[in-house]
Structure formats: structure tokens, C-alpha cells
Structure 1
Amino acid sequence: MFHVILSACLLLVTFPDFSFSWFAWIAFVPIFFLARNPLSFKAAFGYFYILGCIFFLVTVEWLRHVSYFGWLFVSFLYATYFGCFGLLVRWFWVRRGLVFFFLLVPSAWVVLEWIRTEIPMWAFGWNLLAYSQSDHRAIANIASLGGVYYVSWLVMLGNVSVFFLVSSWRMKQNKRFALVSVIFFLAMLLVPVFWTREPHAAAHLPQTSSDDTGLSAIGGEQENRVRNRVHVAVVQGNIAQGEKWDINQKKRILQTYHELSRFVAADRPDLILWPEASFPGYFNIDESRFETLNLVQELHIPILVGGLTYESESVAFNSAYWVTEDGKVQSRYDKVRLVPFGEYVPWKTFFGFLGLNRLAQSLGVGDYSAGADVRVFSLKEGGAFSPLICFEDTFPSLARRAVAKGAQFLVVITNDAWFSKSAAPYQHLQASIFRAIENGVPVIRASNTGVSAFINARGKVLGRVQDQQGNSLFIGGGLARSIEISKLETFYQRFGYLFPAACFLTVLV
């Protein structure tokens, strides 16, 4: 059990709030020693399952602010992926030999992360192993080749290499293989780092006279506008979750967003972004929407408004409304990937039989419908973007599809007020960083309580809404920036997205 606890501690400190990311490269080494010892497959599953339980119970502890039941349910459910990984690790060690163990263990991890992230209904792509490296841009930028899963593969390959190195030193055997494995790992890491380094990428990008941020803030010196830039503003209303749907707070909430919009409008942005569900009602039928439409017409600046959509008693959507500068609703995007047991109850017949439908309703679970597909909106001044709502930026396939349909930058509107002051918003930010790198496009985040941020196509966080003390969470404000929208198609966009499928075939063989 000591090995499990040690691996858990090393893995936990790699993610926010700790972010000692280098420990990710050795976190699994202790528990690999358990898999090497005489051990039943049942025990292997159990040890890794316990590791998964500890990992999720701590890293998503913020779910308890929504529901203690949800926190425990998610932790114990998704720990199953760790348990399955333990079975495969033990199988590879017993049946396949050193070479296969070295190659198959990272591939198996990627397959399980891929399933956990993309599986219909039950997907939860939070805190993938690669996200621990989001602050190390040289490593994170490798995602432009094979996506987040390729970076996870490299991190796990590093764990296996260190395991072989330590094992050969302790056991006085297989030293040559351990050395070769380390050399192979370093080659697999350093070659992509060299290939995706900043100077290499910069050579493909248009040269401008701006600084390396390529941005300007309200009150700062403004750069010359060029055709491959758009000027975008985000507003962060800082509306407490307990007040968002309080009818007595409705007027104050709208007034807050209107005032913030007027504030950022002073910088004459091409677009203003409101967070998810920032409009306190059903935007398509609520009479208060006319106040917001009149505001847009007054400012003569398009606004993307997060609001709910009512179509019937059984059909409602979590939407983003595209309101053009003339105050007209031109289009809307309905959220495609809904949060299970948050925005809907999956398998209603089954869970209704167990009585969980009533439990879910008592916990405030919504009953929304999923949208058809991603949408691309075009600015009058040039530039096309796709909105992603809430945790949709944790789905690599969704972001890739949006860019493939013509989006030159991605917009994430979210409400993380549910989770209080916790690691959740920073963990969420990590996903946005990787979506930018994978697709070679900027990502702009508008969050109710933070983190609202601008991320360039290389994954660099260029600016955040924050107060004078540098706090990004639970503060109100707005920020306007210019972003580079020149699109460089990444290898990930063309072929690299297939990397998890290649890992799946590798494990099958």
C-alpha cells in the first residue's frame, strides 16, 4: 500500500493547486513496482483502483460544492479507468515481456484516457496526464503534432523508462535494456520539442510590429490594427451561483453586464463576449432580452450572449446567442456535450427505476437537450469563431471539428461559480491551453467568476481579467485584447488526431 500512497502523492501535486508538474514523469514508478511483484490480476486492479480513487477524490474535490453524492460518484466511477490500467500493466508484465511492456503501457494509458474523454454520455476529460504540463510550453507545444494524448503518452513513457532504470539498478539486471529505453524516451521527447520550438513556428507566422504578446489592454497603448487581427473583449460579471437565478437579482445582474459591456466598448472591440448563462432567463422568450438587444444596438458592437433557450416543456437548450451590431439575433449555438447529472440525467428509464431521477431533481440537475453540432460565426470585419460552452473545451474532437469547419479562433464561455474558490477554474484553463496548441488557433475564455483569459495559438496565456492583487477568481471586470487569427494548420489537425486510434491498434496487436 505504501507504493500506492507514494504514487498518489506524486500524481496529486502535479495538478493545480500545487502544479509541481515534473513529478508527473515519475508518479507511476512506485506502483509499477507492485505490478512487477507476484500479484493476482484482482490485486493489480485493486491497487490501481485505489490510486484512481485518491486521485479523483482530491483533484475534483470541488464537486462537493455542487453535490457530495456527485463528488463521490464521479471519483469512484472514473477510478475504474485506473483499475483497468492496472490489469493491463500486470498483463503486459506477465505475458508480453520487457519490450512490449515498454511500448504498450503508454499506449494503454492513452486508450483509456481517450475513452474517458470521448465516450458518449459519461465523458469526463478532466485532469488528463498531459494537462500537468500546460505551464511548460516547450512540452505542451508537442500537442500540435499528436494532440493532448501524445503528450500523455510521452509522460507515461517517461514513467516506464524511469521504472526500468531504477529497477535495473536495484536488481542488477537488464541494465542495457534500461539504458536503451531511456535513450529512446529522450529521443521521442526532444525531437518533437525541437521541431515545435518557438522559432520554428514563428517562421511560418506573419510578421507584425507588435510585441510578443500581440495584445493591447484597455487603457494601454493600442497597436495598429491589421487585417489578420481581431479585437475582442470579455466581461466577467462575478455573479454568485446562489444569485444567478434569483428573480430579485435579475435586474442587478443585467445592469452589471450592461455596465461592463459599456466599459470594454470604450476600446471599440470587434466583439464582446458574455459568459455562459449570463443572461438570467430564457433569452428567446424573456422580455428583458430587449434591454440587451438595445444595448448592442447602442454600442454598435456584436455581443455573444450566454443564455438558455426554451422551445417546449420538454425541450430546452444551454445556448450562445450571436447578436449582431444592429441588435438582431442572427444565430445561436446550442451546447452539444451536456454534463451528465448536471444538465441532464442519462438513461432516464434505468435511473428512474432506481429513483435517481427524483434525487437528481432535488439536487438541482437540469433537463436540457443537446444541440446538433458546432457552429461557426463570422465577424463583419473579418474573422470566424466557434463558441464552446462550459466543459466542451475538454473534448479535443469537438474543438478540432469547429476549426475544421472554418473557425479561426475558439471562444469558451463558462460558469465555474459552482465550484467556489478551488482548483477547478485553473484545471479548466489547462484544457483551453491544449485546445489552442492542438489546433493552432487562439482561445478566448469568458467566465462568470474566472478564469477569463486570452490564449494565443502557441498556448501562452496572454492576459486575464484580474484585480490589482493579481486575483483572477471571484472578481468582476472586463478586458479587451487584439488577437492574431492567422491560421497555421497543425499536424494534429491533419493526421495527429488519429494517434489514440493508433495506440488502440497497438494494444490490440
Structure 2
Amino acid sequence: MSTKKRYSYAGLSSILLFLAWPPFNWLSPLLLVALVPLFIALDDVAKSNEPKPTKSIFRLTFFTFFVFNVLSVYWIYNAINAYNTGFGGSIISLFVSLIPYALGPFLIASAYWVSYKLKQYFVRIIRVGIFISLVISAEYLQQSWDLAFPWMTLGNGFAGFHQLAQWYEYTGVYGGTVWILLSNLFLCWLIITIKTKQQLNYKKLIGGIAFIILPIIFSLIKYTNYKESINPSNVVVVQPNIDPYEKFGSLTAYDQLETLIKLSDSVAHSNTEYFIWPETALPNYADEDQIRNNREFIRAQNFLSKYKNGTLITGAETIKWYPNEATPSAKYIKDMGMYVDNFNSAVQIENSAEVDIYHKSKLVPGVEKLPFPTLFAFLKPVFAKLGGSVGGWGWQNEPSVFYAQSGIGTVPVICYESLWGNWIGQSVRNGAQFITIITNDGWWGNTSGKDQHLLYAKLRAIEMRRAVVRSANTGISAIIDQRGDITHHTEWWKREAINADINLNNEITFYAKNGDIIPGIGILFTFLGLIIGIFKHFKRKYSTH
């Protein structure tokens, strides 16, 4: 096979992956075959007499996933650039855009490269296990470190066709990644076996077909038969549809608050228990230590007074002052002689003196948080001069549960955080009965970004078997039930409010209870494979001398 033909195969895989990805919802099953052309090209490289086949392995894989990522998340540059101003901000935006465009594909290509390096030391079944483990480990790294971008984890691809992903309540999205990789490996083996006229192993054939089909059958049965326990709570979700460029400019925070109140009142009932307003709905940098004296806070609490059982969860920008540099993100304000943290927060307000505040923890690398802040603390002054909020937000280290006076618990999730299933699972274990997502997708414009972000929330509903209440400033606000169905939603760029009943749930799914077991096994298997592979390499090397 010529180099040109190999890249045409790799390009075909890129296109198939793109077509299978949200928002092309009903094409999601293509994920089970999309990598076959790439695997055929890689098999050709492995069987060739190239002096350095590992280079071709890496290049073909990187090309496949780079093209796929650019096609699927092309909108990221606009989203990131919206946070910044001036030439410096644009440079940072371009740099941060490389994280999903290039860094993710680089890690996946590295996993393929290492897998090929190790294959000579293991039998086939172990090689497959190491390959799967390496890819899972690379995806998990993309979720765990300071350059995190788990948006393109392969298992997320079934968000658009969630009827096939009901078993995520046991495995999370990494179970989907394993299913996709093994299905593609099996089909590649089948095609090559038939093409080369080898004798088919019928046990392997039946086992492979069963591996593809049984999860689909199980999922469809689970989806059809799943019934929510009736435990209703009336919620109001508000989409104020305020242009994000006006939100922090010409419109005052108080004017925006009045819009939110008017929309809430237009659909609320006397028995409404929750009002959900979007991310940064109150953009006025409220001092957390003085928040009860904040004008917007007082107005919001006065609004609640007519709803006896009402609780308000709203996005807000808050600040906290310290006499010393108490956190890695704190900035020194010379005029005040103190340090300050800015937070993208969720605030719970009730008809009482109680106030709960949660600080967004999963921050966009570079845009909202300087990666590895302790290591690169010396760069903070440089980032500060580049404009916007580059690297400027503080965070907290553990998820929270907001409890209302009624005893109902919800997990506050701010925008990007909705990608972390295990993070949300911690709050579910701690008593959250439904999931609240507040976001502002307007920065992305009318692109597939807003649709992907909404659809990923379906997976959180399935993993936790919790209703999702999603309020977007500009985007798509929605109610998602426990099996992942969107029962109510707004339209893009439309000022609207939703009133709906959701069912609360206290049962804990296997995934919520145990978290990301699959990546844990994958990392362990990767570590063992590397140790054994290195040992065999040196044993072979020195035994020949």
C-alpha cells in the first residue's frame, strides 16, 4: 500500500468519526466501524519492511485524530478568543486552541506508538489489552491534568444516540471507548482475514459479533423498561438570552437581574421549589464576605419572598479577599495591600439567611486558569498583561452539594464541568438528588459547540440516573430525565423560561458509587505492560551480546 493510499484510509476514518460525532445524532453507530480504515492502514505499515515503521504509525494516527478534532470542535477558537482582548489575547487563544486540536491527537497517537513498540513482547490477547489500556490512559490524562480537555473522549460520541448508551450507569463513558475500540479491532481482523483468504476462527467470529450486538440489545431493553420513581419537584429554568458581549458591557447587572426575575415570574407556580438562572447571571463581582449586603443579592432574595418553598440557584462572579497569598490563583492588589481571588460561582439563595457558594473547579486551561499554577507562578504577571481573564479565576478542590431548606440536594455544575462524570458522581454519593448545570454557550455562536455541550449532559443523566436541569444564558436550556431524554428545551437565541416537574432520585448507580474503575484498570495494565516490556527489551538486548 502506498503512503498516499494509507493517508486516504486515515482520512476516511477522520470523516467517519466526524459524521458519527454529535450533533449528527443518528449516525453514532458509525463509531463502531469508523477506525477500521485506519487500523487497516496501520496493519499494512506493521507488515511492511519500513526501517522505522513506528514513525508512520504515529503520523497516520495523529493525522486521523487531528483532522477529526478540527472538524468536530472547529468552534473552539471563537469560544476561547471571546474571553480575551487585543493581540496578546488572540495569541493566547491560538495557543490554547492547540490543546484540543493537537495535544489530544498527540496523546492518542503516542498511545498507538507505544502499543506498537510493545507488541513484539506479548501474545495477541495481551497486546490488545495493552493497546486498549494505553488509549484509555491517554483519554484519562486528558481529563485529569491541568491541560484537561475531555470533550473528545470516544465514549462521548454516543451522547447523540443515548438509547445505545444506557449501560453507562455501570461504566461511564470509558466503557463506550472500550466498546468502540474492540468493535473496530474485531471488524478490522474480520476484513483482513477474509481479504487474505485465511480460515475464519468461528468462535472469535461469534464472540466478536456478540460483543458488538449485546450492548445494543441490553441498552435498548434498559431504555424501554426504565421507569422513574415518582418524586416530583417543580423547577423553573430561565434563559435570559443576553448577548455575552453586552452582558459585561452596556447592560448593568441590575438590569439583567430584572430580566431574570420577570422571566421567572412569568411561568412560576406558588409551589415552585427551584429557580435556575445561568452562569454569571449576576456579573457584578460580589464580595463573598459581604454578599448579604449586595444590592443584587437583596433584590434576588426579595423576589423569592413570594415563593414560600422557593430556592434560587444562580451563576455569579464573586471575589474573596485575603491578607496573604492564600491560593495559587490569588492576585496582589497594590492599592488595597491585599490579595484577591475572582471566582466563577454558583450561589444558592433562599428565604433565609443561609447562602451557599460553589466555585467552578474545572477551569478552561489557559483561558480561565494558568496551567500548573505553582510551577509557572512566575508567568502570572505576563498573563495578566495580555488582557481578558487569561489564567485569572480561582477554584475549589472538591465538588459541592447544595441543600435546600426542604432537604433536597443538588450538585451545582458550571459549564465545562459537565464533562466530568466522576466529579459529579462524588456529589451524588454525598446526597445530590438531581443535577443543576448552569452555562453560557453564547460565546460559541450558533455552532455545533452548543449542541454538543447540551447532548453530553444526557450522559451525566444516564450515569447518575438523575434529572438534569440546564440553564444557559444563550444556548439551549433544557430538562433531561433520568434515562437521557430531553423532555423540555428552549430554542437557540430565544429569551424564554421553562416550568417543569422533575423526579428526584436517591438511588446510587454502580458508576456513581465506584467512579472511573475502567481508567484505573487501564492505567495499572499500562504500567505493568511498560515494566514487562522494558524488562524483556533489555533481556533480549543483552542476551544477544
TM over 0.5: yes
Deviations 1:327-384 (A, max 9, x none): x452111122222112121245765767993387335425111114222122334421
Checking the alignment, whether the CA contact within 8 Å between 2:18 and 2:71 is kept in structure 1 is: yes
Pick the aligned partner of 1:53 from 66, 69, 86: 66
Counterpart CA distance in 2 for 1:270 and 1:354 is 46
Shift of residue 95, structure 1, vs aligned partner: 4.4
Checking the alignment, whether the CA contact within 8 Å between 1:145 and 1:496 is kept in structure 2 is: no
Counterpart CA distance in 2 for 1:350 and 1:356 is 14
Counterpart check, 1:81 vs 2:107: yes
Shift of residue 246, structure 1, vs aligned partner: 1.1
Counterpart CA distance in 2 for 1:399 and 1:405 is 10
Deviations 1:13-64 (A, max 9, x none): 1123434212211111111122212352122112211222212222221112
Q: Which residue of 1 aligns with 2:299?
A: 291
Q: Which residue of 1 aligns with 2:505?
A: 486
Q: Which residue of 2 aligns with 1:318?
A: 344
What secondary structure is seen at the aligned counterpart in 2 of 1:288?
helix
Shift of residue 271, structure 1, vs aligned partner: 0.3
Higher helix share: 2
**Unaligned 5+ residue runs, structure 1?**
209-227, 466-471
Counterpart CA distance in 2 for 1:21 and 1:205 is 26
Higher mean alpha-carbon deviation, 195-204 vs 301-310, is at 195-204
Deviations 1:272-320 (A, max 9, x none): 0001111121234553332222212244421101101111243122111
* Counterpart code for 2:462: I
* Counterpart code for 1:35: L
Counterpart check, 1:157 vs 2:164: no
Pick the aligned partner of 2:360 from 335, 344, 349: 335
Shift of residue 494, structure 1, vs aligned partner: 3.5
Counterpart check, 1:96 vs 2:122: yes
What secondary structure is seen at the aligned counterpart in 2 of 1:337?
coil
Counterpart CA distance in 1 for 2:222 and 2:254 is 50
What secondary structure is seen at the aligned counterpart in 2 of 1:106?
helix
Shift of residue 399, structure 1, vs aligned partner: 0.8
Shift of residue 73, structure 1, vs aligned partner: 4.6
Counterpart CA distance in 2 for 1:267 and 1:193 is 43
Alignment: residue pair count: 479
Shift of residue 449, structure 1, vs aligned partner: 1.1
Q: Which residue of 2 aligns with 1:475?
A: 494
Counterpart CA distance in 1 for 2:510 and 2:360 is 27
Shift of residue 238, structure 1, vs aligned partner: 0.9
Counterpart check, 1:254 vs 2:280: no
Counterpart CA distance in 2 for 1:382 and 1:255 is 28
Checking the alignment, whether the CA contact within 8 Å between 1:51 and 1:82 is kept in structure 2 is: no
Q: Which residue of 1 aligns with 2:247?
A: 244
Counterpart check, 1:11 vs 2:17: yes
Q: Which residue of 1 aligns with 2:517?
A: 498
Q: CA 1:133/1:180 → structure 2, altered by over 3 Å: closer, same or farther?
A: farther
Higher mean alpha-carbon deviation, 271-280 vs 134-143, is at 134-143
Checking the alignment, whether the CA contact within 8 Å between 1:267 and 1:480 is kept in structure 2 is: no
Q: Which residue of 1 aligns with 2:40?
A: 33
Counterpart check, 1:308 vs 2:311: no
Q: Which residue of 2 aligns with 1:187?
A: 210
What secondary structure is seen at the aligned counterpart in 2 of 1:283?
strand
Checking the alignment, whether the CA contact within 8 Å between 2:282 and 2:296 is kept in structure 1 is: no
Counterpart check, 1:63 vs 2:76: yes
Q: Which residue of 2 aligns with 1:219?
A: none
Deviations 1:383-435 (A, max 9, x none): 21111111111112211101011111111111111111111122112321111
Checking the alignment, whether the CA contact within 8 Å between 1:374 and 1:398 is kept in structure 2 is: yes
TM-score (norm 2): 0.81
Counterpart CA distance in 1 for 2:380 and 2:398 is 32
Counterpart CA distance in 2 for 1:299 and 1:267 is 6
What secondary structure is seen at the aligned counterpart in 1 of 2:484?
coil
Q: CA 1:389/1:55 → structure 2, altered by over 3 Å: closer, same or farther?
A: same
Counterpart CA distance in 2 for 1:355 and 1:367 is 9
What secondary structure is seen at the aligned counterpart in 1 of 2:488?
strand
Shift of residue 93, structure 1, vs aligned partner: 5.0
Q: CA 1:75/1:353 → structure 2, altered by over 3 Å: closer, same or farther?
A: farther
Pick the aligned partner of 1:395 from 413, 420, 427: 420
What secondary structure is seen at the aligned counterpart in 2 of 1:269?
coil
Q: CA 1:133/1:200 → structure 2, altered by over 3 Å: closer, same or farther?
A: closer
Q: CA 1:309/1:329 → structure 2, altered by over 3 Å: closer, same or farther?
A: farther
What secondary structure is seen at the aligned counterpart in 2 of 1:235?
strand
Shift of residue 171, structure 1, vs aligned partner: 1.4
**Unaligned 5+ residue runs, structure 2?**
1-6, 82-92, 322-338, 530-545
**Pairwise CA RMSD of aligned residues?**
2.6
Higher mean alpha-carbon deviation, 292-301 vs 197-206, is at 197-206
Residue correspondence of structure 1 range 204-243 to structure 2 within 5 A: 206=229, 228-243=231-246
Pick the aligned partner of 1:411 from 419, 425, 436: 436
Counterpart CA distance in 2 for 1:350 and 1:452 is 38
Q: CA 1:170/1:88 → structure 2, altered by over 3 Å: closer, same or farther?
A: farther
Higher mean alpha-carbon deviation, 437-446 vs 358-367, is at 358-367
Q: CA 1:400/1:189 → structure 2, altered by over 3 Å: closer, same or farther?
A: farther
TM-score (norm 1): 0.86
Counterpart CA distance in 2 for 1:343 and 1:336 is 10
